[in-house]
Structure 1
Amino acid sequence: MNAPRSPKIPESVLVVIHTPSLEVLLIERADAPGYWQSVTGSKDAVDEPLHLTCIREVAEETGIEIGSAAVPLANLSDWGLANVYEIYPRWRHRYAEGVTHNTEHVFGLQVPAGIAVRLAPREHTAFAWLPWREAADRCFSPSNAEAVLQLPRFAADTA
């Protein structure tokens, strides 16, 4: 018998994974077909540093290892943006009773074109590399779409 899961912490990261030519990786949720998004995930502990949440979530959801020779840690950038949004009712059961909002911190991750992606099948069923404008249009979450639309500005700052 499985032990009950601890409630999710209402603080998360959103990682816009992109190539130098601004193609964006989107992944389709297994629990919501047609819901395309960037890598997202909640902190595992209140004191978990956000960059470690990014490293863990990117590895879990895509198999991309931040800190490897192909994707140095320097390629992960904190965009200094945070979105506070209402948690969709369909997912509120994952949080402590009464929690209705989440704070999402936005990061960018530049990866080489053609990098291998290995999805976690319980979480995502498909992936696509799309030009940034198309990716923004496909995102189900308004905050995710807005983050993707910010990509050219943040990518230029790190070039």
Structure 2
Amino acid sequence: MTTSPRPWKIPESVLVVIHTPALDVLLIRRADAETDFWQSVTGSKDVADEPLVLTAAREVAEETGILCGEGTPLASQLVDWQLRNVYEIYPRWRARYAPGVTHNTEHLFGLRVPERVVPTLDPREHTDWRWLPYREAADACFSPSNAEAILLLPEFAR
């Protein structure tokens, strides 16, 4: 029995800043990084034509257990900020992408939850979580684009 090769990651992803009305932000720590790699929810499309809002809701559910897809009470709180970042993929993760792919397009979303919630993490992906006021959360992020997105939160949380 042969297994099919793992498909290449699609170089289009979402970043979802999960926050409370008080602008506290949920950060999760990556399991596959050597350093304190704190971040918001991120993830790539599963298929090229997957709508970005579905990618965002799926990744939030997979990484935190928070349900915000269509038909859930939080669906209206998942907001596409209509912003995107294009960044160079870290060399250690480029093997996940097709040969020659060096950049990713990341679409920014916000998800407002009514209060700080306890997430359910997949230990293969993330090892810890914490809520921080948004400026402290931005300072704690490993990724500069993630930090910049968090600093935009007051503008988009109105």
What TM-score results when the alignment is normalised by the length of structure 1? 0.93
Structure 2 equivalent of residue 27 of structure 1:
28
For residues 50-89 of structure 1, what are the structure 2 equivalents within 5 Å?
Answer: 50-67=52-69, 71-89=73-91
Q: Secondary structure at the match of 1:25?
A: strand
Structure 1 equivalent of residue 51 of structure 2:
49
What TM-score results when the alignment is normalised by the length of structure 2? 0.94
Residues 85-127 of structure 1: CA deviation (Å, up to 9, x unaligned) = 0000010010000000000000000012132310011000000
Q: Secondary structure at the match of 1:126?
A: strand
Hey, which bits of structure 1, 4+ residues long, moved more than 6 A?
none
Range with greater deviation from structure 2 (63-72 or 49-58):
63-72
CA RMSD of aligned residues (A): 1.5
Identical-residue share of aligned pairs (%): 69
> Are 1:95 and 2:97 counterparts?
yes
Residues 7-63 of structure 1: CA deviation (Å, up to 9, x unaligned) = 000000000000110000000000014000000000000000000001100000000
Structure 2 equivalent of residue 129 of structure 1:
131
Q: Which ranges in structure 2 are unaligned for 5 or more consecutive residues?
A: none
Asked if 2 retains the 8 angstrom alpha-carbon contact of 1:70 and 1:111, the reply is no
Q: Secondary structure at the match of 1:8?
A: coil
For residues 24 and 80 of structure 1, do their structure 2 counterparts lie closer, same or farther at Cα, with a shift above 3 Å needed? same
> Shift of residue 5 of structure 1?
1.1
Q: Which ranges in structure 1 are unaligned for 5 or more consecutive residues?
A: none
Q: Secondary structure at the match of 2:157?
A: helix
Aligned length: 156
